[in-house]
Structure 1
Amino acid sequence: MNKDILYKFFEGTASLEEEKDVRLWMEASADNRRAFFKERKLFDGMLLLGDENIIRSGKKRFTINFSSLRTELIKIAAVIAFTLGGSFFYQQIQTEQTLIPLQTIAVPAGQRINITLPDGTNVWLNARTTIQYPITFNANERLVKLDGEAYFDVARNEKKPFIVQTDKYNVEVLGTQFDVESYSDTENFETALMEGSVRISSLTDTNESLTLTPNNKAYLHEGKLRVMSVDDYSPYRWREGLICFKNETFASIMKEFEKYYGINIHITNKQVQKYLYTGKFRQTDGVDYALRVLQKDIRFSYQRDDDKNIIYIK
């Protein structure tokens, strides 16, 4: 795959035909998918470094020096925290018990990033997600704290379990691939397992735990964990910058927009709730573009209150 097209895809400037070519190429083989995510990580690193080689001004484009870029990425130890066109949050703190410095990375609304943890675990962080982890894991476990949504490809180490701690549950693994969603400002919790196995245990009820097998997800229903099979992985394509939905209600789509863009959406138009909708948007398109596209098939109007950060669907 042409790297120039890939980077246009990452920026959200690729044409529809180029987007189609990238997705078909990526889905053709596991090697292509690995190459895709490798280049995405390089792209994220260049954004962090502010490398002039990828700065775009109008239609002017610059050549990317990949060999020098890899050298720079090694220098920063693959710890990435950034926003596109905005500020980023990064701090070091210490735990009272062990005095081990912790890294905290927060992703703003409408963005996503890819990082590598000290043990080699690869993590994608979704919009409005915060992760905290030590600069070195201790001898007994690899504990990270998550508020938001992340996709983990965990480096296997049978002597050191990997634990994702949310405000609701712990998700413990040895080596696997899974998606965890647990925003502290909502009641939702979900873990979808792609490979390996995970054990989910409640932070408040020692009797509530379960072991998840591949192609299944655990979710909260009326305060209790439930399990169901996963037959559609398109919702997890957020790693590619896509917001995907299939046979979803208008309200559930608006909830996704709230998550990605950090806004509140109030729906007063009851007609929009009569149907189920299927489609996808790029995160970089923004919520106004997505709403205008939906208006082509659904009769509604909307009004923004930027002072209160609310969109009213009428």
Structure 2
Amino acid sequence: MTGVVRRIKLGSQGLEVSAQGLGCMGMSAFYSAPKPNQDMITLIHHAIDAGVTFLDTSDFYGPFTNEILLGKGHNALKGGVRDKVELATKFGIRFAEGYKKEVRGDPAYVRASLESSLKRLGVDSVDLYYQHRIDTSIPIEVTVGELKKLVEEGKIKYIGLSEAPASTIRRAHAVHPITAVQLEWSLWSRDSEQEIIPTCRELGIGIVAYCPLGRGFLSLYKFEQQSTNLCVLHFSQFRITGSDLNGGVAAIIGELDHGDASTRKMDAWGTWRGHSKQPSSEASNHFFSLSIRDGHIETHQPPKPP
């Protein structure tokens, strides 16, 4: 099976990607314990063979271990695989002293972060480089100005922002064209439709939606399991007093269909919302593999490595 997922233009700057992406974060961090590396490499290659070639990672995932999984540490991109994929990574969040999160966007940090990511990934350049979170202490013009230099040096091909407000997107785009904005967007999270999505459409900026399955809530990952996950309990949707409201929503979703059909419908909703939207599949971030049939993602237990 090869290349059954359609390809689209992400934004208006020339980047072409698969119409579904593979979010790699959960392979190494946050939702549960890191998965066996060889299992994840098998999953990545299975996705690429099916045409899911848009791979999304970050230096914050692990930290660093997710990039290492894809790159030199475990060679998921060796053997010509790098030439088959669109590789996106991010900078801007780090763990400071006391394991506290710190957001940085100063030029020296931007450049040092990219150089480190390139070494971990074992590549000369990345296709899409996002500012993972906006450093409000640094004018966005300064941060994007440094990213523009990295584009001119050939170390990154396209620039992206993640979780940026509409006004920041406009200011950034005035310095250098922004190719994509990554944000949470699903049937469960639609705040971005008020200002951010219209701004991106006006400026010709592509949308990369993370958590299109509501951090698992809209998928086969049962709410009872999800509600005990300490990571997702950080998010307000999972902390509503009493679970009756979430349980009611889960029941409605369950009535859509049984099996993996509801997952496909949630993802189809995202694709229907607009051709510029590029969902990064969340299914693999828990315990599923990807299977593509007639251009649609299905979920099931991951294949065992040979």
TM-score, length-scaled by structure 1: 0.26
Q: Whose radius of gyration is greater, 1 or 2?
A: 1
TM-score, length-scaled by structure 2: 0.26
- Which protein is richer in strand relative to its size? 1
- Which protein is richer in helix relative to its size? 2
Which fold has the larger relative contact order, with Cα–Cα distance below 8 Å and residues 6 or more apart in sequence? 2
